Each structure stands twice: as C-alpha cells, then as structure tokens.
Amino acid sequence: MNDGPLIVQSDKTLLLEVDHPQARDCRAAIAPFAELERSPEHVHTYRVTPLALWNARAAGHDAEQVVDALVRYSRYPVPHALLVDVADTMDRFGRLTLVNNPVHGLVLTTTDRAVLEEVVRSKRVAPMIGARIDPDTVVVHPSERGRLKQALLKVGWPAEDLAGYVDGQAHPIELAQDGWHLRDYQREAVEGFWAGGSGVVVLPCGAGKTLVGAAAMAEAKATTLILVTNTVSGRQWKRELIARTSLTEDEIGEYSGERKEIRPVTIATYQVMTTRRKGEYRHLDLFDAQDWGLIVYDEVHLLPAPIFRLTADLQSRRRLGLTATLVREDGREDDVFSLIGPKRYDAPWKDIEQQGYIAPAECIEVRVGLDDEERMTYAVAEPEERYRIAATATSKLPVIRRVLERHPEEPSLVIGAYLDQLEELGRALDAPVIQGSTTNREREKLFDAFRAGEIRTLVVSKVANFSIDLPEAAVAVQVSGTFGSRQEEAQRLGRVLRPKADGRQAHFYTVVSRDTLDAEYAAHRQRFLAEQGYAYTIVDAADLAGPGEVNGPDWVDEPAD
C-alpha cells in the first residue's frame, strides 16, 4: 500500500481525495480516460467508461499509460480484473479500420477476422455493408461511412477512420502576421486536429477557440462552412476572421434568419439550418451548396439532431468541433465521437489560467432560505413545477443585490433561465434585459455599451450562454438555470474568464434556494467546476460579507456537498 490520493474500485469507479498533495497531478493523469460523476467537498468520484478509453486511445494514449496512472496513484492494489478490462477495451479501438481501396473504393478491413465476422452479422451493421472482397475486407458504400461508424460504436467495435478526406474547392486563406501569433496550446490544438483529419478541440471559454478555427482554415486553404449558435456569435466570428486572416468582408457570407449569403467562407446558425416548414428542413441543402473543404462546428456539444444526421453524410469532409466541454446532457457524446471525430486536444482550464490566458476565478454558491409562504407553495406544488418555484424565489432578490454591492465597480452579468424572473430583476436592479426576443441590433448595441463601460450590469437569459465575447465582465451571478446542466455551467463561467487588463480575479456566484431541487441541480452543475479543478465555496446568505469584505470574518463556509 502507498499513500496515493486514489482508490480504484472493481466497478471502474475511482475515488479521488481532493485535499491530498498529489490530487492535482492525479486528476490530470486520469482526466483523459475517466469521467467525473460526483464532486462533494472531499472525495470526487470518477468512472472509467469505454467511450472515455476510446477517446484516450484515439488521442494517442495506450493501455500501458492508463494502467500506469492507476497503479501509480492508487492507495491500494488495483483490481487485476479492472486492469485487464482497460487493456481489452482500448484494444477494441482500431481492430476495424475504414480505408480507401484503389480498386473497390471505401472498405472496412480488420486485423482480427473474428471481429469482422461478428460485426457483419450484426443487425445494426449488415444493411450498411456490401460485397466481401476477401476474408478481411468488405465494401462500404461511401454514403454509409458515418452511419456505419455510429453502428460499430454501438456494438462495441469502434472503427478507426483512415479513409481520408477530399480537399474541397481551394480558396486562399492565410493567417495575418501583424501584431499577434498563435499561442503554444492553440498551435498544438491545430496540429492535433490536422494530424487526425477530423475531431474535437476542447478549450476554455476565452482561450481563443475562434483562432484555432482560423488556423485550421489556413491549413485547409479551402471553402469553409462554419456553424454557430446565433447571429451575434456569427458576426463575432466574422470580425475575428477579418482581423486575424487574409479574408475580406466580401469573402465571408452570413446565412441566418436575416441574410442568406453563400460565399467561400459561410457562417450559418444552427437555428436557421434546423428551421422546418411543412415538416421539411429547407436550409439543409446549404451543406451541398459548395464543395466545402472544411466544416467547423462551434459549440459542438450543442449540435442539434438534424445536423448530426447531415454530418453522417459528410464524412469525406474535414470536420472540426470546438467546445469548452464535451458533456452533452442528452448523452450523445458517442455521436460526436463517431460523426465529428474523437477528441484531438483538451487543455485543462487551470493550466490555461496559470499561463495567464484566462482570468483566475472565485466560485461561490450562496444559499438562500425560502420565506414561509414560498416554502408552503413549494411543498404543495406538482413535482414538475417545483424547480421553477425554487429557482425564481423572490427571497433571492435582496441577496443578488447584496452580491452586486460587494463589487460596485465591476462589470457584472446576472444570468437566469425564466423570463418573468429576469424582467423583475431588470426592474429591481435598473439594468437592461437581453433575452430571446431582443433583436440582434438591440443585443449588439447593449453588448457594445457594456464593453465600453456605459452599462455596469446586464441581466441576460441563456442567449448569452454561448460565444458572446464580453472581456470586461468580471462578475457573473447565476440565479436560475437549465436544471443540472454542466455544459451550461461551463458556458456561464466562461463569460467572466477573459483575462482582465490588470490581472484581477473573476467572481462566479450561484444563488440557490436551500433544501430544494434548486440546490440539488446546483450540485450537479458544479461537477463541471470540480472537473476543471475549481474549488467552490458554499456560504449562507445571512453570512455573506459586505462590500470590501470578500474574505472577511463573517464569511462562513458550509460543506460543499
């Protein structure tokens, strides 16, 4: 027995002692192949899953490295059966490969004939394959390339796609050289993506995912389709591309609810692409409108199902997914893996923070008691209404005001999910509200005023979760959310992580109603914070320190569980 921070259990769960001196190194070692499940204050629970192991294998990690990490940090002997299972699971990746045969075109081939025999008899797989060329090879119709990868993943034999990519229509794109250069981690991300041909790059909000996209475009030197979450985000992409590359305004088209421009580089919103009329997706033809050399999926963790279906047909195009977290609340991470590609690069948020490229952040949960009337309303409510009642409790309002008073000079965002609550907060705080019905013109006007310091506080709905560049924001107060969404937690924390000119700290608050679903969902969301190495403090609203007393004597901690 050694004194490591990890307890490895036979059910593939890993228990990490957070306060152990080796905890940080251990977390970094297991992150490529283990997923965080629970994060109470002292012991975090991870699980080793097949998808995590296959992602690690695709990223260049082998079973020996995984076994070494488990053995090195484990406090007790690691169950032998688990080590064997890790090796066997990782060995499944790559026994089947998709390659281009000079005579037969796309084929599925194997290094293990029995595996091929097994999968060709699978009801999931059989309809997607053609004639048998030899005992180790079967023909695959090119249109089934994506769906076959999905099916093979489902039956536990993920194929390595080595069939290559078409170059698409050439278009000159160079990175501008004046005044800036790619950071080391951005260059490593592009190199990792390009070496694999397709896949996902995971970087913190504010760490320059757009620049990774621009650098990938400069490598491809081809027509590019960029899919984004909303029009404001698309226009930010356009501004960045004009500033950072040789592209001109005339070469970049916007395909949104307002404009339908198809140019050598076209930026389209997920919303317009998935708009249906009479049951038909009218705009999905955009995927075939050009001989695209590269397709970029911004915020790939939000990819709608229709875009997944189209992506299954686009396997001969290079595909780059960009995200701050690969967590999908619908559990479709395996579709991202098979259709966009495996994770090619993942930088821990704390590592980027230590390099000074994102702001250090203090994460605080403030617990609020419901008043007697609210407690009774909550107690007698139908189960589906309870979260809304707890999340929008009026007893939160004075606490939110108190939090903002602690940072009187800091640009602040108050973020929520319920429009009635946001409108009430806007009136109480005398702050503008940005929500779904706010026009793009008005949104951009308010964001510009916030950036310029003319507006100190903005109240925003989930429309501000994604790809909004507000580098001045230093305080975020989360008042309600999409149940226990970890991906939303990542986006909201990201709003305040742009590095500040004077190096000051960012502050991320979550105001939750005690003893309700609100607190339960907050605990689930905070798994993301723990996953990235952030500590969070839980305080009672009654003990909240006043202005200038961030760590004052009346700052009383509660267990973070």
Confidence of residue 81 (pLDDT cuts 50, 70, 90): very high
Q: In the structure, what pLDDT confidence band is assigned to residue 555 with cuts at 50, 70 and 90?
A: very low
Cβ atoms within 10 Å, residue 114: 8
Q: In which band, very low, low, confident or very high, does the pLDDT at 42 lie, cut at 50, 70 and 90?
A: confident
Q: Is the pLDDT confidence value at 59 over 60?
A: yes
| Residue 284 pLDDT class (50, 70, 90 cuts) | confident
Same domain, 380 and 250: no
* Alpha helix stretches (DSSP H) within 9-112: 23-30, 50-58, 63-73, 80-92
**308 contacts: CB under 8 Å, gap ≥ 6:** 332, 335, 339
Residues 29, 10: Cα–Cα separation, whole Å: 19
Q: Residue 545: how many CB atoms within 10 A of its CB?
A: 16
Side-chain-facing half-sphere of 385: CA atoms under 13 Å: 7
Check if the beta carbon of residue 271 is closer than 8 Å to that of residue 230: yes
| 546 pLDDT higher than 80 | no
What is the rounded average pLDDT of the residues 30-41? Answer: 78
d(CA 542, CA 418): 25
Other Cβ atoms closer than 10 A to 453: 10
HEC per residue, 394-412: HHHHHHHHHHHHCCCCCCE
- Greater confidence, 502 or 223? 223
**C-alpha closest to that of 60 among 82, 33, 85:** 33
- Asked whether residue 175 is domain-assigned, the answer is no
Pairing verdict, β 280-281 and 276-277: antiparallel
Least confident among 154-158, 353-357, 457-461, 487-491: 487-491
**What's the mean per-residue pLDDT of the chain?**
86
Q: Between residues 488 and 74, which one has the greater pLDDT?
A: 74
User: 42, 74, 92: which is the final residue of a domain?
Assistant: 92
pLDDT of residue 468: 63
Average pLDDT over residues 202-228: 92
Domains in the chain: how many in total? Answer: 4
Asked whether residue 176 is assigned to any structural domain, the reply reads no
28: pLDDT strictly greater than 50: yes
Residue 483 has a pLDDT of 58
Model confidence band, residue 467 (pLDDT cutoffs 50, 70, 90): low
Task: Give the three-class secondary structure for 374.
Answer: helix
Highest mean pLDDT among 15-19, 71-75, 465-469: 71-75
DSSP H helical ranges for 59-98:
63-73, 80-92
Question: What does the DSSP 8-state code read for residue 289?
Answer: S
Residue located via tokens 């050439």: 170
Q: How many CB atoms lie within 10 A of CB 166?
A: 12
Residue 400 shares a structural domain with residue 468:
yes
Each residue's pLDDT tens digit, 170-198: 999 999 977 788 999 999 999 999 988 89
Q: Give the pLDDT confidence score for residue 556 in this predicted structure.
A: 34
pLDDT in tens, 327-376: 676 777 888 889 999 888 887 777 788 888 888 888 888 999 999 999 99
In the chain, % of residues over pLDDT 90: 50
Residue 67 has pLDDT above 90, yes or no: yes
Token readout for 235 is 């226009």
Query: What pLDDT, on a 0 to 100 scale, did the predictor assign at position 63?
Result: 94
| Domain endpoint, select from 314, 331, 347 | 347
CA atoms of 79 and 208, how far apart (whole Å): 41
3-state secondary structure of 311: helix
Whichever domain contains 297, its CATH number is: 3.40.50.300
Residue from 87, 70, 61 nearest 15 by CA: 70
Q: What are 409-436's pLDDT values in tens digits?
A: 898 999 998 999 999 999 999 999 998 8
d(CA 485, CA 497): 19
Higher pLDDT, 340 or 521: 340
Structure tokens at 387: 């979260």
Res 368: pLDDT = 93
Answer yes or no: do 323 and 418 share one domain. Answer: no
Does 552 have pLDDT greater than 60? no
Q: Which residue among 92, 107, 139 closes a domain?
A: 92
- Taking 60 as the threshold, does the pLDDT of residue 549 lie above it? no
pLDDT value at 558 more than 50: no
Q: For the ranges 234-238, 320-324, 535-539, 542-546, which has the lowest average pLDDT? A: 542-546
Average pLDDT score over residue span 114-119: 94
pLDDT of 66 over the 90 cut: yes
Q: In this predicted model, which residue has the larger pLDDT, 91 or 551?
A: 91
* Same domain as 392, residue 310: no
pLDDT at 253: 94
For the stretch 230-265, pLDDT in tens is 888 899 899 999 999 999 999 999 998 888 899 999
What is residue 561's predicted lDDT score, i.e. its pLDDT? 38
One domain, residues 231 and 292: yes
- Domain assignment present for residue 66? The answer is yes
Rounded-to-integer distance, Cα 222 and Cα 322, Å: 19
The DSSP code for 114 is H
Same domain as 332, residue 392: no
CA distance 355 to 140: 46
Q: Is 230 within the bounds of a domain? A: yes
The reply to whether 324 falls in a domain is yes
**What pLDDT score does 223 carry?**
96
Structural domain of 319? 184-347
Q: Measured between alpha carbons, how far is 269 from 234 in angstroms, rounded to an integer?
A: 7
pLDDT band at 551 (very low <50, low <70, confident <90, very high): very low
Higher pLDDT, 554 or 107: 107
CA distance 368 to 199: 43
Same domain, 274 and 261: yes
d(CA 548, CA 503): 18
For 45, residues 6+ apart whose C-beta sits below 8 A from its C-beta are 13, 14, 15, 16, 36, 37, 38, 39
- Is the per-residue pLDDT at 128 higher than 50? yes
- Of 310 and 217, more confident: 217
Quick check: is 1 in a domain? no
**Torsion angles phi and psi, residue 490, rounded to 5:** -60, -45
Residues 268 and 328 occupy one common structural domain: yes
**pLDDT-wise least confident of 124-138, 257-271, 277-291:** 277-291
Question: Smallest Cα–Cα separation from 69: which of 39, 124, 27?
Answer: 27
Weakest mean pLDDT among 82-91, 217-226, 400-409, 473-482: 473-482
**Does residue 174 belong to any structural domain of this protein?**
no
Inter-axis angle of helices 372-380 and 383-391, to 10 degrees? Answer: 160
470 or 367, greater pLDDT: 367
Residue 250 backbone phi and psi in degrees, to 5 = -70, -20
**Is the separation of the CB atoms in 521 and 484 below 8 Å?**
yes
Q: What pLDDT score does 177 carry?
A: 79
Query: For residue 3, how many C-alpha atoms fall within 13 Å in the half-sphere facing its CB?
Result: 4
pLDDT, residue 379, reads 93
In a domain, 166, yes or no: no
Task: Note whether 337 and 365 are same-domain residues.
Answer: no
| 257 and 154 co-located in one domain | no
What's the mean pLDDT in 485-502? 74
- Least Cα distance to 524 among 16, 40, 53 occurs for 40
Residues 203 and 304 in one domain: yes
76 and 205 fall within a common domain: no
